[in-house]
Amino acid sequence: MFARLVYESFRRQKRRKLLAGVAITLGVAVATAMIAVATGIGDKISRELRAYGANLLVTPQEDTLDLQIGGVNLKPPSDGAYLNEADLPRIRGTFWHHNIVGFSPMLPVDANLDAAGPVTLLGTYFSKPLTFGKETFVTGVRITHPWWKVQGSWPADNSQDVLLGERLAAKLGRRAGDQVQVNGRNHTVSGVLSTGGAEDDQVVAPLALAQQIVARPGAVRRLYVSAMTKPEDELARRDPKTMNPELFDRWYCSPYVQSIAYQLQEAIPHSHAEQIRQVAQNEGTVLARIQGLMLLITIAALLSSALAVSAAMATAIFERRSEVGLMKALGAGNSAVAAVFLAEAALLALLGGGLGFAAGAALAGAIGRSIFDSNITIEPVLLPLILALGVLVTFAGSALAIRRAVKLDPVHALRGEA
């Protein structure tokens, strides 16, 4: 009898049930798409944000020492404080090496340039292939400093060609293809570099050339690392020295900028790694805002669905008040009446939730391809969560209408009175 009542309700009120089902389907579809996007493209969003450039700086450990007595800085000159270039490929052996987008060593040295006199020559990697174990990868400023623009061509890392900063090039009247003398040796200007920073007044050259000028093979003064990280939370800000082993493992195995910095220090001997705070904080803010926007869209979609279901159920119950009155007159209790409408709502939620899940998966895929140029797949384990969410929203939207139904006076209901 119970099943027949539910069946007859759907048969006789097809339009009402269809409207409620469409509302549930649309709300669940949007919620599914937003959840899939939030969980499926966190790394892709972070990779897009790598346009900010490097977010970690590695320097020799000696540079962090602070020696002051009586307000006088007794710290020795850091002329001998260098990282070893041979240690840099070991970065690919860290736990989060797949999150390391690239790194760029820097070695600034003093040089004499033509009639310009003393200038800074900055040695670095442009797009250098390296090997760690059986893996070969390419890294350099073309990855970590994407805002660097060159008029002309980039020098090869194994060449003696150089880049001139645009202000220095304008001062010397040089352009791509010209020759310049650095410490009495001729070098070809492969291009003019524009960064908007101090490099516009410098010569930028392959790292090996800078090491040759200071006669320090393998010397690196600082290292910029671009890594995909997750926004900071309370755990990220804790000092790992104060953590118990279980908490430390959780912190170490999370892609926080602090934990990646810790692993860089493990990989590179006698180094100190820290986040470039402005970049890291900006990335965290952007990621948090994107997640907040997705959450607001999801809540708005589900709230709209709940309101639409509420209106449809209220109208359906009003039309069936005589049926409710007859049920109560025949001895049905409030729980029995409520059970009929809750069963209808649950069935609507499961049907609409299933369709919404499929539509949401297609919508998530479209968002991924159009915005992030990447496919987004939804894990099957998400289906029970989405169906439960659909049932919850439907019950919430139906609650007020069902409450009014169970409180109907059977005498008034049978007379057709509200």
**Same domain, residue pair 123 and 208:** yes
Contact between residue 66 and residue 75 where contact means Cβ atoms under 8 Å apart: yes
| Per-residue pLDDT reduced to its tens digit, 194-218 | 998 889 999 999 999 999 999 999 9
* pLDDT tens per residue, range 397-411: 888 877 777 666 565
Co-location of 166 and 28 in the same domain: no
d(CA 295, CA 107): 45
**Which candidate, 129, 190, 186, 181, places its Cα nearest to that of 155?**
190
Going by pLDDT thresholds of 50, 70 and 90, the confidence category of residue 12 is low
Residue 221's pLDDT band, with cuts at 50, 70 and 90, is very high
Do 117 and 175 lie in one domain? The reply is: yes
Average of pLDDT values for 298-315?
A: 85
Last residue of a domain, one of 275, 295, 326: 275
Domain total of the chain? 2
Note whether 257 and 312 are same-domain residues. Answer: no
Distances in Å between the Cα of 310 and the Cα atoms of 12, 56, 316, 391, 401 are: 19, 52, 10, 13, 7
Question: 117 and 224: one domain?
Answer: yes
Q: Rounded to an integer, what distance in angstroms lies between the CA atom of residue 268 and that of residue 31? A: 44
Helix 382-406 / helix 14-40 crossing angle, nearest 10 deg: 140
Q: What is the SS3 assignment for 156? A: coil
Question: Do residues 190 and 323 share a domain?
Answer: no
21 and 87 belong to one structural domain: no
Domain boundary among 254, 275, 296: 275
Polymer length of the chain? 418
CA distances from 142 to 135, 163, 198 (A): 20, 13, 17
User: Which segment of 60-69, 122-131, 148-157, 197-206 scores lowest on mean pLDDT?
Assistant: 60-69
Q: Are 375 and 369 within 8 A, CB to CB? A: yes
DSSP run (H or E) holding 210: helix 207-213
Does residue 299 share a domain with residue 237? no
Contact call for residues 187 and 160 (beta carbons, < 8 A): yes
Angle at 168 between CA 163 and CA 173, to 5 degrees: 95
The position carrying tokens 């310009």 is 116
Give the domain-ending residue among 275, 296, 320.
275
Contacts of 305 (CB under 8 A, 6+ apart): 23, 24, 26, 27, 28, 393, 397
The mean of the pLDDT values for the chain is 81
Q: What digits encode the pLDDT tens for the residues 83-118?
A: 999 999 999 999 988 889 899 999 999 999 876 789
Of 92-96, 326-330, 383-387, the poorest mean pLDDT is in: 326-330
Average pLDDT over residues 151-164: 94
One domain for residues 105 and 243: yes
Tell me the residue range of the domain where 359 lies: 2-46+284-414
Tell whether 113 and 203 lie within a shared domain. yes
Integer Cα distance of 271 and 58 in angstroms:
7
Considering the entire predicted model, what is its pTM? 0.62
- Residue of 363, 356, 359, 360 whose CA lies nearest to 394: 356
> Stretch 123-149: mean pLDDT, rounded?
93
pLDDT for the residue 324: 67
Could you tell me if 97 and 132 lie in one domain?
Answer: yes
Q: How confident is the model at residue 77 (pLDDT cuts 50, 70, 90)?
A: very low
Q: Under a CB-based contact definition with an 8 Å cutoff, are residues 144 and 103 in contact?
A: yes
Q: CB–CB of 412/328 below 8 Å?
A: no
Position 97, amino acid: H
Q: Are residues 91 and 228 in the same domain?
A: yes
Residue 374 has pLDDT above 70, yes or no: no
Under 8 Å CB-to-CB from 267, ≥6 apart: which residues?
87, 90, 91, 93, 94
